[in-house]
Amino acid sequence: MELKLYVDRLSQPSRAVLIFCKANEIEFEEVSIKLGKLQHRSPEYAEINPMKQVPAIVHGDFKLSESHAILIYLASAFPGVADHWYPADVHKRAKIHSVLDWHHSNLRRGSLGYHFNTGIALAFGLPLDPKAAAEGEKLLSASLATIESLWLEGDGPFLLGNSQPSIADIALVCEIMQLEVADEKDRDRILAGHKRVLKWIEDTKNATAPYFDEFHSLMPFAKEKLKELKAQASKQ
Amino acid sequence: MELKLYVDRISQPSRAILIFCKANGIEFEEVKIDLAKKQHHFPEFAEVNPMKQVPAIVHGDFKLFESHAILIYLASAFPGVAHHWYPADVQKRAKIHSVLDWHHSNLRRGSVGYIFNTAVALALGLPANPQAAAEGEELMSASLAKLDSFWLEGDAPFLLGNSKPSIADLALVCEIMQLEFADEEDRERILGPHKRILKWIKDTKNATAPYFDEIHSIMVPIREKLKELKVQASEK
């Protein structure tokens, strides 16, 4: 049964799904939906995902949107996936759901607010909103602090004290990697002091090598493009 | 093994969990965490949930927060729970995860923004943000439209074309019930046009009768109290 991933590698949750599949040798066809070219708004894509967002998948004739739902589905539907990605144990699983739920309104929301209003808005012809950017950064920072002090508590190197990564690690680390398109000084300021977080990012990269770096290889290019857009915008 | 629910019935996700337990004959002790009295900030509660939010549960020595994670855990851990609440079928389950994920950034986010800034803030002596209220209403209305046109399918009474309710129906309907705190004309404006949603709310109530109405019996008294507090605050 054919699996198609409708993704844009610039999108954090798209990368999480791509890396997960590769790391678990799940075969798929990558269908690029370029957000910068507004391809997510096409009528054809609305047939795939009426929410007009990436990622989305089609597996046979089964369509699914929302990256956490997709990660859980893939972990469950493909028998080769190791248990640590999405453990069968009801308690361990519940904790993974808990951090993935927390992610929506915390790390993701803060990260989106920050990145959109410091640069990404320009790619959609919209103005930057410094107030929204500041609010985003505040929530992003608070979320990183919570990851540092709460979610990474425990014996293992991964979230929830786990000794091996779960889908939650990939989802949240891909979000934080979006900071690679920000200016270095901003990235360093935001990540400063979060030693555990920085180690955890490395551990997650290594656990999914070489795919993690492969799917993040476009970040420097995206950063340069964003710099150009900002420079153009400030000239107007 | 003892189950404790740390809840405040003013909170939408708290109500979803209470109704779910009652409707499934799951025994529990309800521990009220009074949000208006800021009991969620007490150090004892931080021991239960370091995120200082309701709902949270303790089952034996297992602690869990985030309402969707809790609903899934309860549906999985208690063998008496009927299958339709959280089906074992991987694809049906994935669709439930998808709508629960969508909920965070759409219906919930819109509803919280709207209700807080119109009904709650002034009553608690906090500043209301009219712009945030307007944005909340816009997002909520867009979310209701999506429920109408996509998540509710054909003639099926419940979300995702289901003939029986799932945890998603309970979670989302409890959110919409928060509109009981709004003025009648606002509620009519926002919800009135959505006949299908009104029917779905009724179907969900009936499927969980008499507990749905029992748990929601506080809504009108709270609305009146909020109005009173608003008047008092404006007189100061």
Q: What is the pLDDT of residue B213?
A: 98
Helices marked H in chain B — which ranges? 12-23, 43-48, 67-77, 90-103, 109-115, 130-146, 167-176, 184-191, 195-207, 211-215, 219-235
What's the Cα-to-Cα distance from A30 to each of A5, A6, A57, B110, B189, rounded to whole Å?
5, 6, 10, 33, 43
Interface mutation vs chain A, best among B49, B57, B98, B139, most A CBs within 10 Å: B98
Q: Does residue B41 contact residue B49 with C-beta atoms inside 8 Å? A: no
Q: What is the pLDDT of residue B36?
A: 86
CA angle, B158 then B159 then B164, to 5°: 40
Distance from CA of B236 to the nearest CA of A (A): 30
Interface mutation vs chain A, best among B81, B104, B109, B111, most A CBs within 10 Å: B104
Distance CA B208, CA B106 (A): 25
Task: Pick A73's closest partner by Cβ from B67, B94, B146.
Answer: B94
* pLDDT of residue B231 exceeding 90: no
* pLDDT of residue B2 exceeding 90: yes
Note the pTM of the prediction, 2 decimals.
Answer: 0.96
Name the CATH architecture for the domain at B86-235: Up-down Bundle (1.20)
Distance from CA of B90 to the nearest CA of A (A): 7
Residue of B nearest to A58 (CA): B91
Give the gyration radius of chain B's Cα atoms.
18
Q: What is the pLDDT of residue A78?
A: 97
Q: What is the pLDDT of residue A124?
A: 86
Q: What is the pLDDT of residue B103?
A: 97
Q: What is the pLDDT of residue A234?
A: 83
Q: What is the pLDDT of residue B232?
A: 86
Q: Which residues in chain A have Cβ-Cβ distances shorter than 8 Å to B95?
A: 64, 69
Q: Mean per-residue pLDDT for B85-111?
A: 97
Over residues A211-231, the pLDDT tens digits come to 999 999 999 999 999 999 999
Task: Pick A97's closest partner by Cβ from B51, B69, B102.
Answer: B69
Task: Pick A66's closest partner by Cβ from B72, B91, B97.
Answer: B97
Q: Mean per-residue pLDDT for B102-118?
A: 95
Distance CA B63, CA B85 (A): 22
CA angle, B1 then B7 then B12, to 5°: 125
Q: Within chain B, which residue ranges are assigned CATH 1.20.1050.10?
A: 86-235
Q: How many CB atoms lie within 10 A of CB A184?
A: 10
Q: Which residues in chain B have Cβ-Cβ distances shorter than 8 Å to A105?
A: 104-105, 109
* pLDDT of residue B203 exceeding 90: yes
Name the CATH architecture for the domain at B3-81: 3-Layer(aba) Sandwich (3.40)
Strands in B62-65's sheet, in edge-to-edge order, are B29-32, B3-7, B56-59, B62-65
Tell me which residue has tokens 């103005």: A127
Q: What is the mean pLDDT of chain B?
A: 95
CA angle, B69 then B97 then A70, to 5°: 120
Q: Mean per-residue pLDDT for B103-120?
A: 94
Residue of B nearest to A59 (CA): B91
In a 10 Å sphere around its CB, with 0-12 CB exposed, 13-18 middle and 19+ buried, how is residue A29 labelled? exposed
Phi, psi of A130 (to 5 degrees): -60, -35
Q: Does A95 sit within 8 Å of B76, measured CB to CB?
A: no
Distance from CA of B231 to the nearest CA of A (A): 31
In a 10 Å sphere around its CB, with 0-12 CB exposed, 13-18 middle and 19+ buried, how is residue B166 labelled? buried
Residue ranges and CATH numbers for the domains of chain A are: 3-81 (3.40.30.10), 85-235 (1.20.1050.10)
Q: Within chain B, which residue ranges are assigned CATH 3.40.30.10?
A: 3-81
Residue segments in chain A with a per-residue pLDDT below the cut of 70 = none
Tell me which residue has tokens 């992003």: A140
Distance CA B102, CA B120 (A): 25
Distance CA A164, CA A35 (A): 33
In the stretch 30-59 of chain A, residues with CB closer than 8 A to chain B read 50-51
3-class DSSP assignment, residue A193: coil
Q: Does A69 sit within 8 Å of B69, measured CB to CB?
A: no
What's the Cα-to-Cα distance from B86 to each of B20, B40, B131, B163, B189, rounded to whole Å?
12, 29, 38, 13, 33
Q: What is the pLDDT of residue A212?
A: 97
Q: What is the pLDDT of residue B204?
A: 98
Over residues A112-141, the pLDDT tens digits come to 999 999 999 998 889 999 999 999 999 999
